[in-house]
Amino acid sequence: SKNWITAIGQRDAATELRDYFARQVAGTGTDRALRSHLPELMPGLGGAGFHGVIRLAYAVEARSPSQIAAGLAYLAQVANPLRPLAKVEATSNSPEEILEASSRSGEWRDAPQAELIDDEMRIVASKPAFGALVSQLVIDDFTQRHLESCALHIYASTNNFTALHGVTGMNALSNLRPLFDDTLLLDQYAFQALAAAYLSVGAPSFWSVDRYDEFIGASSSDASAIGAAGAQTDDAHEAKIVYTALQEYQSTANPLYLAVASRATGIAGDESRC
């Protein structure tokens, strides 16, 4: 049934969506249920400040049919598309370059104030210049890695709560990626959502390479201590950023992931480096 599509983005359709996805997962299995529904949910993957894709990625990692059904239902509930993708000639394969230019322009300095990250993202996405900005990105085989790196740099440079969701959101999409056939479209919508999150906090400037190095040097690089601190916290967002950063560090060996996790937990830098 295609009726579920009309319920996308409808928070009051929670019960119907949960029942629908429980039936789908029971009837077709998790893999088929995911692959057949995710394409329709792609345009709203930034919904609820990326919480929809984050929750679903955890469910997939846990291999729990009931959690996957609940995760699909929640993503469907919050997956209101930001706006249609614009068709403008792409000019750069660097998301960071595009966002840095938007920061320098000063055009996005006035950050919208709303109760939810989601609403702030929608406010900036509704601005006329937003569509053209997002469409500048050339999608290639490296886009996913570039988006993850860009999200990390935004968070490192700002220590901002919305930016934290950019890191955990891009990581969730990376983990869900094998379930999407059209990864080109996935990357376009991922950049649209990341750009909306970045612009919604006033397009802050990125640090210089030296500043990242300085930050890494002053931070703990003890992954096991950082992981232990993340496991003990009762702050869900702190736990998520530590879990994500350690997972990304394992696959990229980028010490900046350890540095942001160290900062989140409040662990001091290595004494030996002083």
pTM comes to 0.96
Amino acid identity at 21 = F
Per-residue burial over 74-105, b = 16 or more CB atoms within 10 Å of its CB, e = otherwise:
bbbbbbbbbeebeeeeeeebbbbebbbebbee
Average pLDDT, the chain: 96
HEC-encoded secondary structure of 133-181:
HHHCECCCCCHHHHHHHHHHHHHHHHCCHHHHHHHHHHHHHHHHHHHCC
The arithmetic mean of pLDDT across residues 28-52, rounded, is 98
Q: What is the pLDDT of residue 115?
A: 96
The arithmetic mean of pLDDT across residues 68-87, rounded, is 97
Q: Are 249 and 257 in contact (CB under 8 A)?
A: yes
Instruction: Tally helices (H) and strands (E) across the chain.
Output: 15, 0
Q: What is the pLDDT of residue 270?
A: 54
Query: What's the CA gap between 190 and 196, in Å, rounded?
Result: 10
For 189, other C-beta atoms within 10 Å of its C-beta total 21
Q: What is the pLDDT of residue 2?
A: 76
Return the closest-CA partner of residue 184 out of 46, 39, 55.
39
Query: What's the CA gap between 174 and 163, in Å, rounded?
Result: 17
Q: What is the pLDDT of residue 87?
A: 86
pLDDT confidence band for 99 (50 / 70 / 90): very high
Q: What is the pLDDT of residues 193-203, one digit of tens each?
A: 999 999 999 99
pLDDT confidence band for 1 (50 / 70 / 90): low
Backbone angles phi, psi at 160, to 5 degrees: -95, 145
The arithmetic mean of pLDDT across residues 93-104, rounded, is 98
Q: What percent of the chain has pLDDT over 90?
A: 95
Per-residue burial over 232-246, b = 16 or more CB atoms within 10 Å of its CB, e = otherwise:
eeeeeebbbbbbbbb
